Amino acid sequence: MIWKIAKKEFLLNLMTFKFAVGAVACIVLTAVFMPILAADYQQRLGTYNRNVGDNETELRNVKVYRSITHTIYRPPAVLSAFSAGMEKQMVGNAKIELDKVPELSVTQRKGNPYLPIFAVFDESLIFKIIISILALLVAYDVISGEREQGTLKLMLSGATARHQVLLGKIMAGLVTLCVPVAITFVIGLVILISFPMVALSGSDWVRIGLMFVASIAFTLIMYQLGLLFSCLTRRSAISMVLGLFVWIIFAIVIPNASVQLATQIRPLESEEKRDGRMLSLKNDLARELGDIKVDFSSSLITSDEGDVFGGYYAKRRDIYWLHAEQKLNSLDIPVKLRYADKFWELEHSNLNSFFGQRTLANRLSRISPISIYENVIAILAGTDLTSFQDFINQVKIHRNEVVGYIRSRTDNFSSASFFAVCTEEESAEYTKLYLQKEKAGDEQAKARAEQALKEWELENPVKAVSLNLQDFPWFKYRPTLAGDLEKAIPDLVMLAIANVVLFAASFVAFLRYDVR
């Protein structure tokens, strides 16, 4: 019997105007905008590839270990077409530096700052808005409409149990709404993979599968919500008005109000306080660096040359200067490294207050199933905030590896190769010849010494060779599927619970429904 009811209901639904309009709107929108979204992804991927390529070529030309200050870029998420999330807000790159630990806050505030006037468009918007309204429209008159037509009496006068009717209606709604959801997903995916630069991996397909499940669960929630109102009211016009008002509260009011509320409940620490602490830490660092006294007084000559990433390397040094600089580096780089961690702690605690607001806003907005759904899709697409955090954490690990690498290569930053391309022997020889020239008694001796120095310089040209980066710890960003799934589970469970609760509520309401 359930099956029959479901079939009848499904066929009826398929022929309605609202279904036709909703389904066509979804299909047209996906067909028109998915290519734009995919092209946009391609463009971002192109920029990313170019940046990474430029960066690597430059890194391969690095002459001294000190200049290893490359930038790590976050690859754009291929599924960002489904949910843009924070992808457009955050730039997603971080510079590797000895005296700074990368933190998420360094990855923003770049790019065009005038673009926040726009909301973002992605595939999930179609589900969030159009399919959710469609679900409400399909559901609002299932019970109250049948009562108005008088068919509900007829149906229940037979042996059919009320729960069978309700289950049949829910099944019909589910199947009906599955049609546009499935078509939208298929069209979207076909367009997406038809782009040459888009490559979906196995884990991406798992993500897409889960997105589909979440979309169905979400649509069912909206359908059951409509059903509940239909079971609670006697006139379908009223159930529709109720449904629409609840929808606008869920879709528009709650997501925006929760952000406002969160910023009110948990205000950020004042900027002065934070800047003050930052400043005192900076002063501490300056003092400690000032305490390091290295004697440069006997040093004679220096000559530098520009290196990659805007750095420079020492081309020629006399031995005194070389030793003094070696000593200076071995003393002050460890201090800088230590302070980098301290700065990071400070920045991190500041960032945590941001996250606190964000988490609170997310929690508050979870009253609305639309927000829950939005959140799940962003997590699954790998574009939510935590995926950026994850990226930064990986960059942090990479930075530590790079620091360790440089440390091991330069004997705790004390070797000359940290900043110079000349070796100690060369410098010693150079110094000797130079001093001979300087201390020469008469003109003849001076000319001879100068000649010797010139000859030596010709024999020993500056060996500006690039470093051998064979065992360099190259960075590879690995978005973790398991981690993302773990984060998505609470929201998925909430979607399921909401379904069960709504079902129970509409079940009770329908059992008590006056069919006359």
Partner 1 sequence: MLYQIVRKEILENLMSLRFTLSLVLTVSLFAASSFVFVDDHRDQLQQYWQKTNQNLSGFREQSAQLYKLAFYDYDIYRQPKLLALCAGGFEESLPGHFTFDAFSTNLPQLAGQSNFTLPRFTNLDWVFIVSLIFSFIAFVLAYDSICGEREKGTLRLILAGSTPRATVLLGKYLGLMLTLGIPLLLGLLVSLIIVIASKVDVVSPALWIRILGIVALSFLYISIFVFLGLFISARTTRSSISMASLLLVWVVLIILIPSLGRLISDRLQRSPTPEEFGRAKAEASRRVEDDMSAGKFGERAGTQTPNPKECNPPARARYANAEADAENRVIEDHHNKMITQAVVGRNLTCISPAVIYQRTSEAIAGVGINHCVNIYQQIKQYQVQLKEYIRDRDREDPDSLHLLFDDENSVAEWNAISKRPVSFDSVPKFQEQDLALGQSLKLAIWDIGLLALFNLVFFTASFVSFLRYDVR
**Is the CB of 362 or the CB of 499 nearer to partner 1?**
362
> Rule CB under 8 A: is residue 493 a binding residue for partner 1?
no
* Binding residue for partner 1, selected from 51, 160, 415, 460, defined by CB under 8 A: 51
Contact between 338 and partner 1 per CB under 8 A: no
* Alpha-carbon span 218 to 266, nearest angstrom: 30
Q: Per CB under 8 A, does 108 bind partner 1? A: yes
Rounded-to-integer distance, Cα 107 and Cα 92, Å: 5
Residue from the set 259, 278, 440, 464 that interacts with partner 1 by CB under 8 A? 259
Shortest Cβ distance from residue 315 to partner 1 (Å)? 20
Alpha helix (H) residue ranges in 366-382: 369-381
For partner 1, give the closer residue by CB, 108 or 415: 108
Helix (H) or strand (E) holding 77: none
Token digits for 449? 């010494």
Residues ≥6 apart with Cβ < 8 Å to 436: 449, 452, 453
Of the candidates 111, 209, 276, 306, which one interacts with partner 1 according to CB under 8 A?
111
Using CB under 8 A as the binding rule, whether residue 25 contacts partner 1 is answered as yes
Question: Does residue 238 touch partner 1 according to CB under 8 A?
Answer: yes
Closest separation in Å from C-beta 262 to partner 1: 8
To partner 1, the closest distance from the beta carbon of 39 in angstroms equals: 7
CA neighbor of 379 nearest in space, from 487, 307, 255, 249:
487
Q: Is 357 in the site for partner 1 (CB under 8 A)?
A: yes
The footprint of partner 1 on residues 139-178 (CB under 8 A) is 141
Part of the chain binding partner 1 (CB under 8 A), chosen from 124-132, 205-213, 324-332, 440-448: 124-132
| Contact between 245 and partner 1 per CB under 8 A | yes
Residue 64 backbone phi and psi in degrees, to 5: -130, 155
Q: Closer to partner 1 at the Cβ: 249 or 294?
A: 249
Taking CB under 8 A as the rule, does residue 248 contact partner 1? yes
Stretch of 129-137, 408-416, 436-444, 496-504 lying at the interface with partner 1 (CB under 8 A): 129-137
Closest CB to partner 1 among residues 362, 427: 362
Q: Which of 393, 411, 386, 408 is nearest to 475 (CA)?
A: 393
In the chain, the amino acid numbered 491 is D
Instruction: Kindly report the number of other CB atoms within 10 A of residue 266's CB atom.
Output: 15
Q: Report long-range pairs for 34-40 (Cβ below 8 Å, ≥24 apart).
A: 34/81, 34/123, 34/187, 34/188, 34/191, 34/192, 35/191, 35/195, 37/80, 37/81, 37/121, 37/122, 37/123, 37/192, 38/81, 38/191, 38/192, 38/195, 38/198, 39/195, 40/81
* Out of 9, 10, 40, 329, the residue judged to bind partner 1 by CB under 8 A: 40
In this structure, the strands spanning 302-306 and 93-95 are unpaired
393 binds partner 1 (CB under 8 A): no
Q: Is residue 286 near partner 1 by the rule CB under 8 A?
A: no
